[in-house]
Each structure stands twice: as C-alpha cells, then as structure tokens.
Amino acid sequence: MKTSQAQSHPLDPLLRTDRIPHIWCPGCGIGTAFATCLNAMKDSGIDLVQTAMVSGIGCSGRGAGYVKLDSYHTTHGRAIPFATGLKLANPKLNVVVFSGDGDLLAIGGNHFIHAARRNMDITVVCVNNFNYGMTGGQVAATTPHLAKTTTTPVGNPENPFNAPLLAYASGATYVARWTILHARDLTESITEALLHPGFSFVEVLSPCPVNYGRRNRIKPMDMLKIFREKTIIRNDARPTELDLDFDKGIVLGKFVHDTDRPSCVELYDKTCRPQER
C-alpha cells in the first residue's frame, strides 16, 4: 500500500482546513451529516460562489464555521429568519441551513413553521441527535419517549416531535428523513433538496455518544446498528406514520416532493412587482 503520495481529502477545497480536526466528539454523527451535505453541494452542480450556509447555535451550528463558502453563524433558533433574509435580498443565492433539532424545531420552531408555510426557497438540513448535546444533554423536543437525559433521569415522559409531519403540515414541498448510516441516500436527498425550488427539509438522525448515548447506555457503534436494524425505508410514506419511536421502527425515506406550489419569491414578485406594461 502506497501512502507516500501527498494527496488531500476530496472535500478539503470546501473546508477551512486550519480548523480541522473539528470540535465534534469521537463517534458524533454531525461530521458525517456535514460531509454528506458538502458532497451533495458538489454533486448538485450548483454555483458554490452563489451559495451560503447558515447555522444556528449548538453542536451542529458549528458547521457554518468549517465550510469554506459564504457562511453565517447566527443567534440561537434564528438560522431560518437569517436565511430568509439572505434569500429575499438576493434571490439568486442558494441558501442552505445546517443546524440542529433544538435550534430549528424548539427555539426556532415558529420560524421553521412559517418558512415552510411561505414555501421559502431554502434547504434545511436538520441534524437530530435527540437531545441538547452542547449544553450537557438536556431533554429536547425530539427526545424519544422514556429516553434518559440530564433533565429526565427516569425517562422522558413526553412524546417527541414528528419533524417530517410538522414540515409537511406547515407546507414544506420537499421532506425527507435519513440517518447518517444511510449516507448515500442522504447525499442523494440533499442534492434533490438543493435543486428543489421551495422549502426543502431533510432530517438527519445522528448519534450523540457523549450525552444521549452515555445516559441511555448506547455506544456509538450500537447506535449505528440500531439505525440499521430499527429503521424501515419507505419512500412516500404518509407523514402521520413517521413517529420517532425506536420500538415501532423509524420510517426513513423521501416523503414529500411537490413541485407545483410556487415559492415565496415567485409569489411575491407576482403580487407586489407586476410586470411593467
């Protein structure tokens, strides 16, 4: 085996390599989700000079700091409003939101709903690691029922968000869910989402070994095995059947792909900027 050739990783041109190795823990899936996102950006053939990545706060929020494109690390939960602003100010820009479940679905929940309602032409990649990892593993809106976290030591009494249903019900026109183990399907989905005109939402299930995994006695490798064994790929499944329940099995796939609804920018131009006669 020749390893002497001085070659660099194929994603290095898209990374701020001086910041690598990144801060994500060993076994954390955010790195994989981030790499698939960058691969999808490369595969989709979009103009990367006209692309901006927006992140909120949290472990996944660090994504914007590692990508060597225009990027924007925003305040907690406000990644989508900042992205909406970018897109409205410059409709030619491809705007990708890369953030976590706590940021997008809990503190930024209403922004998420309303961006989906407007069918804002942005791509949202939501890394779901089932808890608030950066702040010490507190219960989140996506923690499965009975899972242990710092703030639910006897198990989570609540039910988690069905994020694809939330996106679909709010009006998102592209909805998919994968895990980091399904990296190829995930890359394909993010590529489609980037090329889709309208609000695209891709949920990525990811292990959090240090906070969620440790408290639930799941080693990172076991979490990936759970992702392999307890998931069912069913494209076009009904969004109401996508509960985040590992006992029932988690449904993965591409659920919604609606190309008929006009996007926010199109509707705005039609209504407020009528063609000059």
Smallest gap from Cβ 7 to another protein, in A, equals: 6
Angle between helices 30-44 and 183-195 (to 10 degrees): 50
Contact with another protein (CB under 8 A) among 84, 187, 216, 231? 187
Bond preceding residue 209 cis, omega within 30 of 0: no
Site string for another protein, 206-225 (x = CB under 8 A): --------------xx--x-
Closer to another protein at the Cβ: 40 or 105?
Answer: 40
Is residue 28 within the footprint of another protein (CB under 8 A)? yes
| Amino acid at site 223 | M
Q: CA–CA separation, 8 vs 226, rounded Å?
A: 33
Q: C-alpha distances in angstroms, 71 versus 43, 52, 148, 155, 165?
A: 19, 5, 34, 37, 29
Is residue 18 within the footprint of another protein (CB under 8 A)? no
Smallest gap from Cβ 264 to another protein, in A, equals: 32
Is residue 154 within the footprint of another protein (CB under 8 A)? no
Is residue 229 within the footprint of another protein (CB under 8 A)? no
Per the CB < 8 A criterion, the answer to whether 194 and 202 are in contact is: no
Helix ranges restricted to H, the chain: 30-44, 63-66, 79-89, 101, 109-118, 163-170, 183-195, 214-215, 220-229, 264-272
Closer to another protein at the Cβ: 127 or 242?
Answer: 127
Q: Which of residues 30-69 bind another protein (CB under 8 A)?
A: 30-32, 34-36, 39
Is residue 22 within the footprint of another protein (CB under 8 A)? yes
Rounded to 5 degrees, what are φ and ψ at 224? -65, -35
Closer to another protein at the Cβ: 33 or 126?
Answer: 33
Smallest gap from Cβ 239 to another protein, in A, equals: 27
Is residue 2 within the footprint of another protein (CB under 8 A)? yes
Please tell me the count of residues contacting another protein according to CB under 8 A: 34
Name the CA dihedral angle for 140, 30, 201, 67, rounded to a multiple of 10 degrees.
130
Q: Which residues are CB-neighbours of 62 under 8 A, at least 6 positions away?
A: 22, 23, 24, 30, 55, 73
Contact with another protein (CB under 8 A) among 140, 180, 216, 266? 180
Interface residues with another protein (CB under 8 A)? 1-3, 5, 7, 9-12, 15, 20-22, 24-32, 34-36, 39, 180-181, 183-184, 187, 220-221, 224
